Each structure stands twice: as structure tokens, then as C-alpha cells.
Amino acid sequence: MDAARRIEAAIGRRPTRLSPLSGGCVAEIYRADFEDGERLVAKLAGADGDLTLEAYMLEYLGTQSELPVPAVVHDAADLLIMDYIETSGGLTAGAERHAAELLAALHGVSAPAFGHERDTLIGPLHQPNPQNPSWCAFFRDQRLLHMARVAMEAGRLPATTMARIETLAGRLDDWIEEPDNPSLIHGDMWGGNVLARDGRIAGFIDPAIYYADPEIELAFSTMFSTFGAPFFERYNEIRPLKPGFFEDRRELYNLYPLLVHVRLFGGGYLGGVEATLKKLGC
């Protein structure tokens, strides 16, 4: 069944036009235009895909926080339909400051433990979230060591680099202090997931949620230069950053998204992992 027919079968209306959208690493993505002028986004997965978890994460953010995310219209394993968010322009200084306000509010949403009530995804990869009262233990076992092992099992991470990561994992107390509270994070904070319109944030998409030290979210936002000085100046006014974030912990926390990219793409991302390990003395 073609995309238009699958959409019609799900919501009872057939789009008059489908326009491909970028970012479909786990599914085909289309903007669906309808005769009455409404626009929706449709993600279509293959036989092995399951888009229900993305729908769950969007709905969780929509009910548990004020973060602007697209509303889910329909979800099934092979089809996710949600609101289309209009965009215009990139991330201006004003949009960055607005993003800081939105994320600071998100990070004020707390829970009794780090992790989440169920496992989630980061991109197409499984993201385990067994709840743990210790952030250091959770980050060590469910982020750093977990993704390193996944990358090694896929043949993307050498055993020698894995050994260095294990050494680092045994020394996390040198850098990490336990946060006051677990914070809800979006979890995949790069520029492609931040939508702006007229100098403001219009929405955030493709989440990878769990409860964490919010510094891991802030670190990820610097890996591809999503946010700069306007964001951090405003965020720091609302939720002051602890000393040492930019000097050490930012690079430590960015090992997780780097390892995600090593698993998915290999190549130059391995060099980034090894450079960070060297800087941290491992």
C-alpha cells in the first residue's frame, strides 16, 4: 500500500499531496497536505520498525512538561502521524534564549530516580532506562558502558578503546557529583530537532527522553554547535551551571552521543571518542 493510502486508512482522509522531509534515518517522512489546508507529518516505517515508542515519548513530553512538541494524531508500529510545525529561519540569538527558557523549565520536571519507567530510543538505537537513585551509576552502566559495548559488538569500536572506556567508567567520581534531583530531558538535542519560527522556538522533535543530570543535555547541545553564548547566558540565569561543566564534564558527557554516532556511522566519530579519553587521562 502506498503512503497516501496508508494515511487514509489510518485517519480516514487522503492527502492531496505528499512532500518528502529530511531526517528519516528510521522511517520515511512526509508532509501531508489535505484539501482543507491542514498539514500533518507522516512517518512510515518498514516491517521491522516500531514508531509507537516515539509517539509515547512525544505524548509524555506533552503531558508532563510545557515543552512544545507536535501532537500525535495517530500511532501504530508502522505509521506515526502528528501535527506539522511551521518553521521560518534558523536559530537566532532570540530563539536561543527562548530555547534556554524552555529547556530550563523542562529540566525542572523531576522524578524519584534516574532513568525512566520504560526503555526509550535514541535515533534507531535501544536506550535502556532501569531506574537508579545514583546518577553516576546510571550514566556509567546504562549510557557509557552500554553504548560502548553496543558499538564494539557491531565492530565499530576497537577492544583497546573499550578498555580505556572501562578505565574511565571506574573513575567517574573524579568528575561527577550527584545532582540534587533527576531532571526530565529531551535527550537528543541537536539542531535538526529544534524548530524555529520568527525568532522563537516553534517546537522540539525526535526525543530520546529519560530522567538525568541536565548537564548531559546541555553538553549534547554543544557537540554540533546547536546552541551558543545566548543560550547558555540565559540558561545560567535561570539554572546556574556548576563550575567545571565547560572544562571537563561537557566532554565527558558527550562521550555518550559520540558513541551513539560511532555505532551508527563509525568513521571520524571514533577519533572524537579517543581524543576525549586522552584529555580525561584514560
pLDDT at 26 exceeding the cut of 70: no
Q: How large is the greatest C-alpha to C-alpha distance in the chain, in angstroms?
A: 60
Domains delineated in the chain = 3-83 (3.30.200.20), 93-279 (3.90.1200.10)
Query: According to the model, what pLDDT value does residue 176 have?
Result: 95
Amino acid at 129: N
What residue has cell string 530516580?
113
209 Cβ contact list (under 8 Å, min separation 6) = 57, 60, 61, 116, 120, 184, 185, 186, 187
How many CA atoms does the CB half-sphere of 76 hold within 13 Å? 12
Q: Active-site positions?
A: 188
Q: pLDDT tens, 65-112?
A: 999 999 999 999 999 999 999 998 889 999 999 999 999 999 999 999
Q: Compute the distance between CA of residue 1 and CA of residue 21 in angstroms, rounded to an integer.
A: 20
- The mean of the pLDDT values for the chain is 94
pLDDT at 186 exceeding the cut of 70: yes
Query: According to the model, what pLDDT value does residue 23 have?
Result: 65
